[in-house]
Amino acid sequence: MSLLRVRAFSKCLNRRSLFERCVTGVSHADRCLLCLTVRTGGARRISETPLRLQRRHFSPLIPKKEDGKKRVLEQSQLLDVLEARIQQLQSDVIRDVQHAKVQFLKAPSSSGRGSSSENPVKNAPWKQVDTPKSGQTDAKRASESQPSRWMEKLSQEKNDNKIKMQQHFKLKMHKYVKEKPSTKSKSSKGTLMLPGTSHKTISTKAKQTALVAKKSRDAMKVSKEITAAVSSTVTSTSKSKQQVPRKGGQGQSVTDAKAKELVEQPELVELSELLKLSKQADLAELPELSNLSLQAALAELVEVKQLEELERKINEQVNQLTSSTNPEHLMEDSEQDVCGDIQVNFRSYLEACVFAGDLERANHFLLNQHRVLTRRKLLNIGIYNIVMRFWAKEGALEHIGRMFALVEEAGLKPNLGSYCAALECMGRSPDCPPSIISRCLDQMGEHGLSLDDLFSQGVFRQDERDMVLKAVRTVQPDYQPSAKVTTTTYCSSPLVQDFYTQRADHHYPKLDFSHEELLECFNRQLSTEQACTVTIDSVEAAKPVTINMAKMRRLLAVHRTQWRTTLLQALKESKMILAKIKTRQYRHNLYPYLCLLEDAEYVDIMIQSVSNLPLRGQSLKCLARDLGHRVYTKYSVRQKGKSQMVEKMGNIYSAYTDLLARDNEVRDVLPREQWCKLEAEHSSGPTLQGDETHWPYIVTVEIGTYMVDMMVKNLKINSDILNPAFDRKLIPILYHMYTFRSTRQVGFIKPHPILTQMQQEAMEAKLTFDSYVIPMVCPPVPWISATFGGYLLTPTKLMRAVDGASQHELLLKKCQNLHPVLDSLNQLGNCAWRINKPLLAIIISIFNDRGNEKLDIPPPLSESPKVPQFNFNPEDTSYTPAEKAHMKREVIQAKKKCGEMHSLRMDALYKLSIANHMRDEVFWFPHNMDFRGRTYPCPPYFNHLGSDVTRAILLFAEGKPLGPKGLDWLKIHLVNLTGQKKRSSLLGRLEYANSIMEDILDSADNPLNGKTWWMNADEPWQALGCCMEIAKAVRSPDPTQFISHFPVHQDGSCNGLQHYAALGRDVIGATSVNLIPCDVPQDVYSGVAQQVEEFRARDAEKGLKIAQVLEGFISRKVVKQTVMTVVYGVTRYGGRLQIEKRLKEIDEFPKDYVWDASHYLVRQVFSGLKEMFTGTREIQDWLTDSAKLISKSGSTVEWVTPLGLPVIQPYHRARTQVLKSSLQDINFQISTDVNERPDTVKQKNAFPPNFIHSLDSTHMMLTALHCYSAGLTFVSVHDCFWTHALTVDSMNKVCREQFVALHSQPILQELSDSLLHKYCRGQKTDVKNKKYMEYRRMMLLLAKVPQTGDFDLQQVNESTYFFS
């Protein structure tokens, strides 16, 4: 080892001496930073201490002398290259220097050039120079350095545009001549230089030469791509092959003529000035100048000119947007700052402290955050206002003054909430001098805030508003807050301007309720939400109670009482310990969150979660999230009660029902407008739109984890409770264990088998749900903003989002033009429903019997397959390893099947029990939406978006006569539900329905004991309900007067492809999806299936085995799901899984060929769609490529729907956050953090389907608004619209008109403009680097909107099968 170290030490000394000898030949004066950086790195590596060098490069082998010589030679050659580069940059090539952005530094004294032998690095000049970042200038260094000769020329060049263009044009000519393939020998070193350019021959390696050549080729490639994208004319003219002679008058005239020919084209008229400059340039100096070179140079000039023009237009339009209230302008600040999550965490903690009355803890926490400068930067004015508001309740004016001092010290500006707290405190202080109040009002005015703003925009609780008004009237006795009431709605979207401005023909529907009935419904709903839970009867309670069932129910009741007592004691002890724990000053613990409710309420939440725990258990993260969410919901409801909002809510709702009740006059006011008007009239008291903070996802899970830990440790049961033969001991009823999901290990909470058996055998007669699970028994509160609407008290978000995502909420709060979106949600929520009781009774009877998998009624667990019991010794040789593995797989499959059956059974139990609970009620579904604008009912289990069973038992509460065509529409709807006659006309379907009237009536009269014709339908339960409705109508005295409550559906014909065909004006695509009138419907699924069958037959003739196996198995059903989801971004992998599932459902298909067949079919389906929808593919590719470039630039894709809804894709690179608890450490894969870079793959794959989803939601909202104005009942399941049989024709007319109106807008052009405004601003066009090239590519792509075809949109109005 010692010998090796000596050799390494001597080697290092030799290298250093060689390097120093090489360095002495070069001066440091006027060197570029790039060269200095390279030399600094090289010198730093070589001049390290010998021991460190030996430690870094140590090898057990003796290094060869040849390697050392080679490295020294390479270093000396590198220094030669750098020296030549320095001299080249000192030459007169001004344009090259400008493009490279080279900066020269004045060297320090010559003594710093490595002259010190003791430490050559210490005094090196590069150790004293900080290299500036790209695009920045070091002012200090600039002041110390002397301006060089080329810098003076550069300043002169900037002031002389003509000289600049000449130089630029010559350089372009020179560039293309060099890049043109040359016939000269590789050893030729002749180089064309401009006048005054010094030349130095650089002897370098072939590798460096190849690198330069590669860069030139890459630049040429990019230039050609951009040129092709910008100017098709220039590209077409560049195909000429005529060569220009090297010198001479004839060659010059040919060049001029060719340039003149180019400029005379219309696309190049703007380049006439550039051509003049090119003629003035000394073109005779350019050898071998071809027409192609000149055209390519001019093409790039065209591209630069168009880029500048494009940027100029973008900036002009952006300036217009800045002065208007366009949603795109509001999207600029949509993302949170770095400390956004921390601020929400602080706010929730302080609000919890204040609500629990622990002011000392809140004040102490805020002061500790404020004292540390790094943490003070994380605070905003809202956090100070929380504590300030509490001091205002106490009337502590001195503390308010201290808080204002802290705000000033933090560099923040007081807002309306700050002055509201101060004035409230002054109003509560009887001895407060008026001068202080006047000073406060003056300071508020200095900050640009007025009293009217304070009363109209401020958030008040309890009597805060009265106290503020009392303080103000102390100095201004006559002051009266101005009530700003907006009776009309302005919307910038041209799609709905007439809807809001021309209301003379509007007939808004009324509910079939009186004012008193609606008030009674309101009070019932209010009581339910205040309780936060609802206990209902289970449909299994209808079963006769056996002795064992009664025994199990008694045991569970006794043990739950014991568990409740145990948990109460454990919670009290735990809170006492937490209250005494002193955490770090800047951290918080869970104690305030455990003081928000009564201890018994926390215990009830835990007991409820035990009862609802699935048979196979639940992941700790999900269980903890549900528990924490229940705590937050109860806390939010209690907070609203404490703020005295309930009484005010009742007063406003009482007046609001006048708009809906049948015993009041009809008004041309929308529900949202009426509520806003009433809220402005009832301005006194608390504000209904509070500013409470939604708890962060991490906090919610942390609270839930704490409760789960308490349950696992304290809930126990005797081991011999079911089997006295066992030894008696207390065992936990919940176990914490780990399982694998894919490759991740997940913590699980699993119930003990004893508890599971007791619950299954008890078949308890009661089920407890959260209140928001049950439909509302009164009309929902209308959405009036992004934070208020839906339920009365239960917190509800307007836009659904992934746990932890907050960018959508911030975006909505900034957007002031959401009125059409809110009004459409209110229209959907105001539709009243009732239960189809005869049908529900039949379903419950089958459910309580043995179920029926064919009819989608899951059987009880007693019908599940028994889990095999293989009790063999692992060392037993009677079974082979393959047999043992097979047995284990059987056990796993049986357990999986049991778990799936239990999940399906419980899901059906919940839905049927809720439906049975509401069987005598009229109820409503409040609606919200996802980030694309697609609407959903808020109750999760039972709603009209559910399965065939839940849809079948839902009827409109309002009935309407069938009218002259209503019965025909019921019959056509029945045929649609059967899945037959897809290619038949409406008349053909009607004739078919009339021909099977006997089966229809038999199904209605004897659904279970008759011919059971209805069971063979695609949607059997809806078909049975329709049979019953038809039977009632035909047996009524006058079918046209029969009052029908049955909803009739009109479904879009592959709606995603319809939007693509309309966007691209694709005639072939429009024909395939019924945008063009036809005598019979065009079924795109059947068309694709037919085309795939042709491909299969062709391949089968060629002898392809899998094509021969598939003969007779390619049907519409096999390809339908894949065709439907291709438009929404399904991949070949996902499509293969879909087809595989369909093939497995065919009993006759050989299972050994499923894999190969699905691979084959998915390729054919994609090929068929590509041929049928060429325009669709072009638009889809444009959207995908645009999203790819946008996300690569570091931004998420955002756009605005035609109705003004801002949309942002929340896909970011995932980061991991760990929550430590006593049970386990929980890892969170957070993919919605706006501080992380976008996930490029997800952004580009999701943009096309999400954009189409935003369009179909816009179409649905437009249809909903205009149906509401026409007095129609309307609900939707995305692209399936429901209404009464009487109004199907009216709804169809509205549906088609709004589709045409929507796509008559320049949607793609507006999207292009929006994306250009958002992502193509602020870039420097003179930065010739890779980043600029990507920016330029993105700008050109976004500006290049796909071309459209010749399809006439007006034909949609005449298309019968557009929606049918």
SS3 1051: strand
The number of C-alpha atoms within 13 Å of 1174 and in the hemisphere containing its C-beta is 7
Closest CA to 825 of 737, 926, 754: 926
- Nearest-angstrom CA–CA distance, 1271 and 1265: 10
Q: Which residues have CB under 8 Å from 347's CB, separation 6+? A: 382, 383, 386, 693
Which DSSP letter does residue 411 get?
T
Which residue do the tokens 């956050």 mark? 1217
Which residue do the tokens 């700790």 mark? 620
Residue 1120 appears among annotated catalytic residues: yes
SS3 346: helix
Read off φ and ψ for residue 731, nearest 5 degrees: -125, 150
Tell me how many helices (H) and strands (E) the chain has.
Answer: 53, 25
Catalytic residue among 750, 1120, 1244, 1318: 1120
SS3 1013: helix
SS3 58: coil
- Nearest-angstrom CA–CA distance, 274 and 468: 69
Residue 1279 appears among annotated catalytic residues: yes
Residue 652: count other Cβ atoms within 10 Å of its Cβ. 16
- Nearest-angstrom CA–CA distance, 165 and 609: 76
Catalytic residue among 658, 803, 1051, 1289: 1051
SS3 789: strand
- Nearest-angstrom CA–CA distance, 590 and 362: 13
Burial of residue 320 (CB within 10 Å: 0-12, 13-18, 19+) is: exposed
Give Cα 1165 distance to the centre of its chain. 29
H or E stretch covering 32: strand 31-32
Catalytic residue among 604, 1233, 1279, 1313: 1279
For residues 1209 and 1197, the answer to whether their CB atoms sit within 8 Å is: yes
Which DSSP letter does residue 463 get?
T
Burial of residue 1317 (CB within 10 Å: 0-12, 13-18, 19+) is: buried
Q: Which residues have CB under 8 Å from 886's CB, separation 6+? A: none
- Nearest-angstrom CA–CA distance, 513 and 350: 44
Q: Beta strands 744-751 and 31-32: pairing type?
A: unpaired
Instruction: Say what angle helices 33-46 and 65-89 make with each other, to 10 degrees.
Output: 160
Instruction: Say what angle helices 149-158 and 161-179 make with each other, to 10 degrees.
Output: 110
List the beta bridge partners of residue 264. none
- Nearest-angstrom CA–CA distance, 1150 and 1111: 12
SS3 927: strand
- Nearest-angstrom CA–CA distance, 364 and 370: 10
Written as six digits, the tokens of 1001 are 């009536």
For residues 173 and 297, the answer to whether their CB atoms sit within 8 Å is: yes
Beta strands in 1045-1109, from DSSP E residues, in sequence order: 1048-1051
List of long-range contacts for 23-28, beta carbons under 8 Å, 24+ apart: 23/79, 23/113, 23/114, 24/113, 24/114, 25/79, 25/83, 26/79, 26/82, 26/83, 26/86, 27/107, 27/113, 28/107, 28/108, 28/113, 28/125
Which DSSP letter does residue 791 get?
S
Taking the CA atoms of 311, 312, 314 and 319 in sequence, report the sign of the dihedral they define: positive
Residue 1051 appears among annotated catalytic residues: yes
- Nearest-angstrom CA–CA distance, 605 and 563: 12
Catalytic residues: 1051, 1120, 1279
